[in-house]
Structure formats: structure tokens, C-alpha cells
Structure 1
Amino acid sequence: MLKFFRKIRQNLISEGNTGKYLKYALGEIVLVVIGILVALQINNSNEVRKTRDKELIYLNNIKEDLRLNIVELEEYSVSRDEAINSIALLMGFFEGKKDLNLNKFNLNNLNVLVWYPFIQNANTYQELMNSGNLSLIANKEIKNELQNMQKSYERIKFIENEMQQDYESYLYDPYFSTADLNTNLKNYSQQLNNEKLNSKEELEIDPSEVVTLLNNRKYKNGLVLASYNSDLLKVEYQSMIVRAQRLIELIDNESNK
């Protein structure tokens, strides 16, 4: 091709047709420029495609993290409901509204004391932040929702930290200084597994321990705080579930474009 163009230029020069030569040279320059622009456009298109592919991978991974979070948040929400119900039953014992049942007291008491903080599945978000690739997410609404999810998680962590401090000050300290944890955990496990308790096993719960706790105003106040914080957490868990579902919807819409 280059030889062909060179031959045309040589013929025009040998003929002394300067005007035609200049027009031809100009046309050749235009063709070269067009070729460069086309090549750049193709290259840019390839880069845009690669960037889009990376974005879609990140979006899909974020969606998987969100799905895991929803499942766990629903489970944690149920556990907070159970704790609130257990505390309501225990308050009946504290206030003398219910006849004391040692097994029920132990089951519901440990149901409140045994709890775990929610750990967010946010590996993809952390990777985006640490790598500086958050800019790959072009949809501003998705970016905003991602950041709002982190704010929701921070609120959950704050409430859980407050609840942990309350547990240590009001519940764990008096309980561990009063109760026989080994015996109580065995009884708790039997009840959770629906194992039949005989009369001897019922006596494994020391009545004096329970009475001591029932007469401890600090312990009662700790249970009240646990119920209050559990209710706050349940609200935050449900709010985060709604945000996660909304974000999944946004990601699906963006991925289908």
C-alpha cells in the first residue's frame, strides 16, 4: 500500500503537476489522521469495555456480599426478638408476677447472656476502597447507597459496643460471681436440645443463685438495658436489610444496561 502511494507521488512530481501533488498530499495526511483517530477510538472502546467488565465483576461481588448480609441480619434480628421475649419473661420473675421456675429462669437468662455482634460481609467494598477502585462504580446512586450501608453498620457497631459495656458492668459481673456456669450451661444445652430433664437435673440449678440474682437491682437494670438495646439493634438490622435489598435492585438494573 505504501509503495502504491509513493508511486502516485512520484508520477505527479515527474509530471510537474504541483497543484495535484499538494491536493494529493493533503488528502494523504487526512487519511493518516483519520486512521489514527479510528485506532484511538478502537483503543478507547477496548479500554471502556475492560473498565465496564471490571465494574460488573465488582457489582456482582457486592451483590453476593449483600445477600449474605441479609441472611445474617435476619437471623440476628430473630435472636434480638428472642432476647427481648426472654427478658420479658424474666421480668415476670423479678416482679413476682410469675411463679419461679428454675429451668425457665436459667434457659431465658442464658438466652440473653449469650449473644454475638454482627460482622458485616464487606470484603468487596473494602477492596474497592483499599485499591482506589471505587471510581470504577459509575452509578452515583449505587456509590451513595454503598456509603450509606457503611453508616448503618457504624450505627450497629456503636449500639453493640454500648450493649457490650452494659453487659460487662450490669450482667456478667454479678452473674459470674454468683452462678455455677458449668452446671447452668449443661442445663441450658439440655433444654435447647429438648432433652427431658428429670427431677435430679432440675435440682442442678441452685435456687439460692437464682434468688440472689432476683434480689440484685443492678442485674435487673442490666436486663432492662439489654432489652432496650436489643430493640434498637432490631430496628437497625431491619433498616440495613431494606438498604441491602434496595442496593441489590440498583445493581441488577445497572448490570442489565
Structure 2
Amino acid sequence: MISLFRRLRQKLLIQNRLSRYLIYALGEIFLVVIGILIALQVNNWNEERKTKNRERDVLKRLQQEMVQDSLNLESSISLVKYKAEQAERLLRAFEIDSEIENPPEFVRDVFLVGRGGSYLPYIPAYNELVANGELGIIQNEEIIKQISSYLNRMNGLQSFLYDEGDTRRSVYNAHIHRYFSALIMNEIWELGTQTEKLTDDIMESYETDIPGYLSDPDSDYHMRNVAAVNLELKLLYEQSMESFTAPILNLINQEIDKN
């Protein structure tokens, strides 16, 4: 097409027909402009397609990580709930005068109720977007807002409740070691739930003093401190699940379905 315009332009110049020459020249320029615009539009479509594909890939990663985060959070809820139940069983022992029916189980609970850490979310896809300045790739701003609020909440818990919980656990563990050798933990970890194998002979070899522990009023105090931490964590974890992880996952699923 352009070569045809070139031949016509040369013919018109030879024939000295300026007006027609200008018309053909403008037509040639028009075709060039249209070609450029079409090329730009195609390029824009390709870039939009790449951006959409990139957004979909990121959303799928976030979806997988939020599913795993929900499972981890559910596991943490179950753990602190179990520890709260352990504390209730142990606290009842302070209210009775009779001997402990199952000393091995009691010793196991005494040690395990003060163990464990606190839960923190792990969403590397979001952290990568922040680090690379690519948060804008997700068109639904509510997703970013909710994830940011969720992480800020959990980090806030870390700086207050988690640190407080670790302090209380440390004080609790220091107290129980006055009556139970820390070395018995090796037996407890190896036996797991098979407390019946934690025989009286084994317990005696590790210098366990259940009566002394129960008669110490500080034992009840430290146990209640640890129990309170576990109950508070359970409540806050359940709130986080209801208010953040479940709604965030729902938003991500909806956005993936739209794409």
C-alpha cells in the first residue's frame, strides 16, 4: 500500500498536480498514524493480558497461603484450647485433698501446659508485593486492605500479648523445676500420650515431688497465669479467623472467579 502511494506521489509531482499530491500525501500519513495506533493498541492489550495473568498468579499464591494460614491458625486454636483444658484439670487437683489418681499424666500435663509458642501468620506472596512495590497489581484494593489489617493485628499481638505470654511461661517453668527435674521432659517427649509407660520408678529417678508442688500456693498462682494466657489466645485466634482469614480468603476466591 505504501509503495503504491509512493508511485502515485511521484507521478503527480511529475504531472505538477500539487493538490492531488497533497491529498495522497495526507492519505499516506493517515495510514501510518492508523498503523501506529493499531500497534499501540495491540501492545496495550498484550500488556493488560500480562498484567491480568500476573495478578491471577499472585491471587492464586495468596489463596494457597491463606488456606494454609487458616489451617495453621485452626491448629493453634486447638492447641491453646487443649492447654486450657489441661490447666483446668491441673487446677482441680489443687482443690482436692486426695492423692493424684494418675501421677504420670499429671506430671506430663504440668510440663506441657507451660510449653509452646504463639502463632504468627506467614504470607510471603504479600510480603514480596510490598518489597517490590507491586501492591497495585491487585485491582481489588479491599484484599490488600484486609491483609494489611490482619498482619498489623497479629504483629500487635506479638509485641504485647505474645511477649507477656512468653514471660509468664518462663516464670511458670522456673517454678515447676523446683519440684520436677527438667530432665524428665526427655521421657515425656519420647512417650507422647503413652503416659502409662512413665512408671513410678522413672518418676522417682527424676525426683518428682507432686505433694510439695500441690502444697505450694505459688503453684496455683502460676498455673492460673498460664491458663489465662491460653484462654486469651484462644479468643483472639478465633476472632482473627472470623474477622480476617475467612473474609480475606472469600475475597480472593471471588476475584479469581471474576478473572
Shorter-chain TM-score: what band?
0.7 to 0.9
Cα pair 2:104 2:196 within 8 Å, conserved: no
In structure 2, which of residues 166, 169, 184 is the aligned counterpart of residue 167 of structure 1? Answer: 169
Using the TM superposition, name which of 181-190 and 225-234 deviates more: 181-190
Q: 1:224 to 1:39 in 2, by over 3 A?
A: same
Moved more, 9-18 or 159-168: 9-18
Gapped regions of structure 2 (runs ≥ 5)? none
Q: Is the 8 A contact 1:106 1:188 kept in 2?
A: no
The equivalent residue for 1:133 is 134
**Residue matched to 2:73:** 73
Which aligned segments of 4 or more residues in structure 1 are displaced greater than 6 angstroms?
none
TM-score between the two structures when normalised by the length of structure 1: 0.88
2:5 — aligned with what?
Answer: 5
- Indicate if the aligned counterparts of 2:184 and 2:203 stay in contact, CA closer than 8 A: no
SS where residue 179 of structure 1 aligns?
coil
The residue that corresponds to 1:124 in the other structure is 125
Matched, 1:249 2:256: no
Q: Secondary structure at the residue paired with 1:192?
A: coil
Q: In 1, are the aligned partners of 2:69 and 2:122 still within 8 Å (CA)?
A: yes
State TM-score, norm by structure 2. Answer: 0.87
Q: Read off the aligned partner of 1:141 and give its amino acid letter.
A: E
Q: Which amino acid aligns with 2:40?
A: L
Confirm whether residue 239 of structure 1 aligns to residue 239 of structure 2. Answer: yes
More moved, 190-199 vs 55-64: 190-199
1:212 is displaced (CA, Å) by 2.9
Name the SS of the counterpart of 1:128 in structure 2: helix
- The AA in structure 2 aligned to 1:250 is L
**In structure 2, the residue corresponding to 1:55 is in which secondary structure?**
helix
Say if 2:194 is the partner of 1:193. Answer: yes
Offset of residue 82 of structure 1: 0.9
- Give the aligned CA root-mean-square deviation in angstroms: 2.4
| CA displacement at 1:200 relative to structure 2 | 3.9
| Corresponding pairs, count | 255
Q: Is residue 190–residue 196 contact of structure 1 (8 Å, CA) maintained in 2?
A: yes
Structure 1 unaligned residues grouped into runs of 5+ = none
Partner of 1:54: helix, strand, or coil?
helix
Counterpart of 2:31 in structure 1 is 31
> What is the identity, as a one-letter code, of the residue corresponding to 1:121?
Y
Q: Residue 78 of structure 2: SS of its match in structure 1?
A: helix
> Partner residue of 1:115?
116
CA distance in 2, matches of 1:136, 1:237: 30
Give the deviation of 1:240 after TM superposition: 2.8
Bigger mean CA offset, 210-219 vs 155-164: 210-219
Structure 2: distance between partners of 1:155 and 1:235: 15
Check the 8 A contact 2:69/2:121 in 1, yes or no.
Answer: yes
Identity of aligned residues (%): 24
Q: Which moved more, 1:196-205 or 1:19-28?
A: 196-205
Describe the shift of the 1:181–1:202 C-alpha distance in structure 2 as closer, same or farther (beyond 3 A): closer
Displacement of 1:188? 6.6
